[in-house]
Amino acid sequence: MKLVTNIKKSKSLFFTLVTILILLTGSSVGLTADYYLNNEKIFKGIYIGEWNLGGLTINDAKELIKSKQKFVEESLISFSYNNKIYHTISPKEIGAELDVDAIVNDAYLLGRKENLLKNVQNRFYIAKNGVNLPLKFTYEKEKLNNILNRLASEINVEPKNAELIISPNDEITITDSHSGKKLDIEKTIANFEKALESALKPNYEIKIVVNEIQPKVTTQSLQKKGIKELMGAFTTTFNPNNLSRTNNIKIAASAINKLMLAPGEEFSFNKIVGPRSSAQGYQEAPVIVNGKLTPGIGGGVCQVSSTLYNAVLLSNLEITQRTNHSLPSSYVDLGRDATVTYGGIDFKFRNNSEHYIYLISQVNHNKLTIKIYGTKPNNNQVKIVSSIVEVIEPKIVRQADPTLPEGEEKVIEGSKGYKVKTWRIVQSKTGEEKRELLSQDYYRPTDTVIIYGTKKVPNTQNPVDDRLNLPPNDDNNVNNDEQSSQINESEL
């Protein structure tokens, strides 16, 4: 019995499969026949929006699409953001038109552009379900870009960074930061194209895409940096009438103004200030070369590095590289200067505190002031003490000058040299002191030079002239007046 039942089931399944195969074969044959009978027409079931292109030739389909262009021209396109319409245009303003050739070509190729089996499958799907293709437009993108750029000028808002505001008495406040807005032109264009592809409408509302732009420095992030108080400050003076040197001081001082250093970060004067060249605005002013003052581009910059050095010392920060001048400086005490040369000697220090530090560098008339803000550990007090270990008297050097008459001398005064030790003394709230030897500096003396003349002087004594015994006359008086005049003029 079971064998007979299984045979009956197998026969039933066989006839069912054969029936399905015949139906599918019939459909495929019908679709294939339709393919060849309608080879020049768009297959039935293909729509563009509400327009039925099925059964139309390419030319007929093009005429149908062209007839809808007027509808496009009479529509309006509005751009909106936050429920506000910012601008409305007609498609003509950007040259928007239905892309007739592309629309018809897409419709005609559907069911034709794949291999035979795939095309038959697509035709079967189209005939059963229908397919609605998107509209295609052409437009002048540059014109649309220009419109969106104008809208951007109305919508865009620059983000506002939080800032440190420091009062004249060194109190610190932090301003609020604000995010900005920026119109995303590319994404707005994508919205525009998507809206136009969906269907023909009397009006299109295009959503303007606006991105929120976060500030680089937020109020919260600035608060976390721990810049709360004045750590140390130092002021030096200069002659403002020396215009070139004053100019150089201002340029170098501005380079380090409002500079922020993270904990552990090292500051390099040469890296931050950069080359001292005429291209950067520096001018010629006296510089020390081989122990002598000579004109050079960037004279005065060492006053900035020396002022900064003292502010850093008083802020109890770590000095990693510092060199004194070969000669004493007029603007700071011995042992408290820091010379620099671009590409050579540098001044460096490290922020060895637990918080960020913030530098302010200001030039006011004849004063250069540098202040460092951060958090003072344990509110310690810092002072700098220098001690002259040795004074070195200048040598006296005599030099002959063949252009100077015999018997005459000129003296160029030298200067003393020094050996100096400098300490930093840090005093805690309990009065405990910690002394740190900062440097042992040597300032070379400059020789006193006595220049003596070696030029032979001829005997210019006038012989006895009998005319001197003659009584005066008018001509002699005139000559004497001229001689007197000439002698007075040479003495000016």
Residue 106 falls within a domain, yes or no?
Answer: no
Two structure tokens written together for 283: 């001018």
What is the tens place of the pLDDT at every residue in 238-264? 999 999 999 999 999 999 999 999 999
pLDDT at res. 347: 98
Sheet containing 266-268: which strands, arranged edge to edge? 266-268, 348-350, 318-321
Tell me the residue range of the domain where 445 lies.
382-458
Q: Residue 233 burial (CB < 10 Å; 0-12/13-18/19+)?
A: middle
Report the pLDDT averaged over residues 208-229. Answer: 96
Residue 142 falls within a domain, yes or no?
Answer: no
Q: Is the pLDDT of residue 481 over 90?
A: no
* Structural domains of the chain, count: 2
Residue 314 falls within a domain, yes or no?
Answer: yes
Q: How far is CA 305 from CA 234, 252, 322, 326, in A?
A: 11, 9, 10, 15
pLDDT confidence band for 287 (50 / 70 / 90) = confident
Residue 312 falls within a domain, yes or no?
Answer: yes
Integer Cα distance of 467 and 469 in angstroms: 5
Q: Is the pLDDT of residue 6 over 90?
A: no
Report the pLDDT averaged over residues 122-138. Answer: 88
pLDDT confidence band for 12 (50 / 70 / 90) = low
Helix (H) or strand (E) holding 271: helix 269-273
Residues 314 and 412 in one domain: no
Residues 347 and 394 in one domain: no
Plot region of 341 (φ>0 → left; ψ -120 to 50 → alpha; else → beta): beta
Q: Is the pLDDT of residue 33 over 70?
A: no
Question: What 8-state DSSP symbol labels residue 280?
Answer: G
- Closest to 231 in 3D by CA, of 163, 304, 172: 172
Two structure tokens written together for 60: 């007929």
Q: Residue 49 burial (CB < 10 Å; 0-12/13-18/19+)?
A: middle
pLDDT at res. 380: 84
Which is more confidently placed, 13 or 399? 399
Residues 233 and 374 in one domain: yes
CATH assignment at residue 414: 2.20.230
Residues 372 and 453 in one domain: no
- Closest to 257 in 3D by CA, of 343, 373, 168, 337: 373
Residues 415 and 364 in one domain: no
> Among 359, 379, 399, which residue terminates a domain?
379
CB atoms under 10 Å from CB of 28, counted, come to: 15
How big is the chain by its Cα radius of gyration, in Å?
47
Residues 364 and 411 in one domain: no
Integer Cα distance of 270 and 276 in angstroms: 9
What is the tens place of the pLDDT at every residue in 49-66? 788 989 999 999 899 888
> Among 347, 379, 411, which residue terminates a domain?
379
Phi, psi (deg, nearest 5) at residue 441: -105, 150
pLDDT at res. 461: 59
Residues 407 and 338 in one domain: no
> Among 357, 379, 401, which residue terminates a domain?
379
Residue 270 falls within a domain, yes or no?
Answer: yes
Residues 250 and 355 in one domain: yes
Q: What is the mean pLDDT of the chain?
A: 85
Return the SS3 of 347: coil
Residue 468 falls within a domain, yes or no?
Answer: no
Q: Distance from CA of residue 295 to its chain's centroid? A: 33
Q: Is the pLDDT of residue 419 over 60?
A: yes
The residue whose two tokens read 């950069």 is: 274
Q: Is the pLDDT of residue 479 over 70?
A: no
Residues 325 and 267 in one domain: yes
The residue whose two tokens read 């379900």 is: 129
Residue 366 falls within a domain, yes or no?
Answer: yes
Q: Distance from CA of residue 33 to its chain's centroid? A: 70
Integer Cα distance of 159 and 323 in angstroms: 43
Report the pLDDT averaged over residues 70-74. Answer: 81
What is the tens place of the pLDDT at every residue in 314-353? 999 999 999 999 999 999 999 999 999 999 999 999 999 9
Residues 368 and 408 in one domain: no
| DSSP secondary structure, 311-364, as one string | HHHHTTPEEEE----SS--SSS-TT------TTS---EEE--SSS-EEEEEEEE
pLDDT at res. 73: 80
What is the tens place of the pLDDT at every residue in 92-122? 899 988 889 998 998 899 889 888 889 888 8
Residues 375 and 423 in one domain: no
pLDDT at res. 463: 53
Integer Cα distance of 149 and 186 in angstroms: 11
Integer Cα distance of 197 and 132 in angstroms: 11
pLDDT at res. 482: 34
pLDDT at res. 288: 76
90 with 107: CB under 8 angstroms? no
Close Cβ partners of 152 (under 8 Å, ≥ 6 residues apart): 182, 183, 185
Residue 150 falls within a domain, yes or no?
Answer: no
Residue 46 pairs in a beta bridge with 131
Residues 393 and 253 in one domain: no
Q: Is the pLDDT of residue 486 over 50?
A: no
